[in-house]
């Protein structure tokens, strides 16, 4: 416990100091925070509950559009804003910007949660292939449909309000970094406290054998929906922040980007290790470093690398880094290992 406390304190201090230590990487660090949030929340229903969804991108994109629309719509007519594209006919004052952002983030978190609750009952009844493909379809459908809606920019995209002039040039990066870091800390605390309750055991029971869990008297549907709603809450929040950070929303390339973000969150969680608390965090960090390196030095080949990476990870490391560590050092994970038993197993192999 004491060791854990030191670890958390060190990470927190590092997180708070990071934008001043690496001022050039503020945007990258913010994106990293968002990626960790996405991977961690995907892990709630992908790793712990065993419902592998490609559709969390739905909540992410929904949050992104909602946050930006609220931020604009609170003060200016939305339709004229999108029509003017990037033209600066309407300018947010700092107060308006922050008020809009705060309110927008609340909406961006709450509405996807409600949506998840509403569609959860019909979709979480599907299993295996059907759930995965259904959520994949849901994500793509949302992208295609939002690309046809005029008021949020349709095909030409939607420019989010530019950051107001508050004196310092560094302010924008710092604001978004601390916003995303705060979200990350919030997510971590929430997920960690969820994982220490009976709720996590129920989710694991659903993953291991849903029919038996139901037979034991667990209302599986209720818990599945709650799990998905928690996921949706943080995905929406992350989407709202990302919208402001990127500054431009396009239906299929930024918001409902199943080919990038939708796959990333699955991949990060699997790379780190499904069904562990730290796995998605480690996975997201390594993945982000790899991705940025690759994106910078081999521009154009990134999707090829992504495709190869998915295949390699899925085939050769389905347990991820945490799974590998766990196999190697089971004592560290609180598993009691009988030395004789282990040797016998090694010989059997």
Q: Which residue has the tokens 């030395």?
A: 339
Q: Which residue has the tokens 């709202």?
A: 240
318 touching other proteins, by CB under 8 A: yes
Q: How far is the CB of 317 from other proteins (least distance, A)?
A: 11
Nearer to other proteins, 33 or 140 (CB): 140
DSSP string, 262-295: IHHHHHHHHHH-TT-SSHHHHHHHHHHHHHHHHH
CB neighbours of 88 closer than 8 A, spacing ≥ 6?
162
Are 42 and 266 in contact by the 8 Å Cβ rule? The answer is yes
Site residues for other proteins, window 248-267 (CB under 8 A)? Answer: 259, 263, 266
Q: How far is the CB of 280 from other proteins (least distance, A)?
A: 16
User: Of these, 306, 321, 322, 325, which contacts other proteins (CB under 8 A)?
Assistant: 306
User: Of these, 29, 32, 68, 138, which contacts other proteins (CB under 8 A)?
Assistant: 138
219 touching other proteins, by CB under 8 A: no
Handedness of CA 81, 84, 89, 93 (dihedral sign): positive
User: Of these, 134, 226, 230, 325, which contacts other proteins (CB under 8 A)?
Assistant: 134
DSSP string, 249-264: E-IIIIIT-IIIIIHH
Q: How far apart are CA 118 and CA 121, in angstroms?
A: 7
Q: How far is the CB of 184 from other proteins (least distance, A)?
A: 25
Are 115 and 109 in contact by the 8 Å Cβ rule? The answer is no
User: Of these, 12, 13, 141, 201, which contacts other proteins (CB under 8 A)?
Assistant: 141
Q: How far is the CB of 129 from other proteins (least distance, A)?
A: 5
Nearer to other proteins, 303 or 333 (CB): 303
Nearer to other proteins, 131 or 175 (CB): 131
Site string for other proteins, 274-303 (x = CB under 8 A): --------------------------xx-x
Are 48 and 226 in contact by the 8 Å Cβ rule? The answer is no
């Amino acid at each position: 416990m004491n060791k854990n406390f030191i670890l958390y304190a060190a990470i927190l201090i590092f997180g708070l100091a990071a934008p001043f230590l690496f001022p050039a990487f503020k945007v990258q660090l913010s994106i990293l925070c968002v990626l960790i949030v996405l991977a961690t929340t995907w892990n709630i229903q992908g790793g712990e509950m065993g419902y592998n969804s490609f559709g969390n991108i739905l909540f992410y994109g929904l949050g992104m559009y909602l946050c930006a629309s609220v931020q604009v719509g609170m003060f200016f007519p939305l339709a004229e804003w999108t029509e003017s594209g990037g033209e600066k006919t309407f300018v947010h004052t700092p107060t308006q910007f922050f008020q809009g952002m705060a309110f927008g983030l609340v909406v961006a978190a709450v509405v996807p949660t409600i949506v998840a609750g509403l569609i959860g009952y019909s979709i979480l009844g599907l299993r295996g292939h059907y759930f995965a493909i259904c959520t994949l379809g849901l994500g793509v459908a949302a992208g295609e449909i939002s690309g046809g809606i005029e008021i949020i920019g349709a095909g030409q995209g939607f420019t989010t309000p530019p950051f107001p002039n508050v004196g310092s040039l560094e302010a924008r990066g710092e604001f978004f970094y601390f916003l995303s870091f705060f979200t990350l800390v919030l997510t971590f605390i929430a997920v960690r406290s969820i994982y220490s309750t009976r709720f996590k055991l129920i989710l694991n029971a659903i993953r291991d054998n849903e029919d038996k869990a139901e037979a034991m008297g667990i209302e599986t549907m209720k818990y599945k929906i709650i799990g998905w709603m928690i996921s949706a809450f943080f995905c929406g929040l992350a989407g709202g922040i990302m919208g402001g950070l990127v500054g431009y929303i396009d239906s299929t390339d930024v918001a409902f980007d199943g080919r990038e973000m939708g796959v990333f969150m699955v991949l990060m969680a699997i790379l780190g290790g499904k069904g562990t608390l730290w796995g998605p965090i480690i996975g997201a960090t390594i993945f982000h470093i790899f991705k940025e390196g690759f994106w910078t030095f081999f521009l154009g080949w990134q999707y090829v690398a992504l495709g190869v990476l998915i295949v390699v990870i899925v085939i050769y490391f389905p347990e991820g880094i945490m799974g590998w560590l766990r196999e190697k050092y089971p004592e560290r994970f609180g598993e009691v290992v009988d030395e004789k038993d282990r040797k016998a197993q090694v010989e059997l192999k």
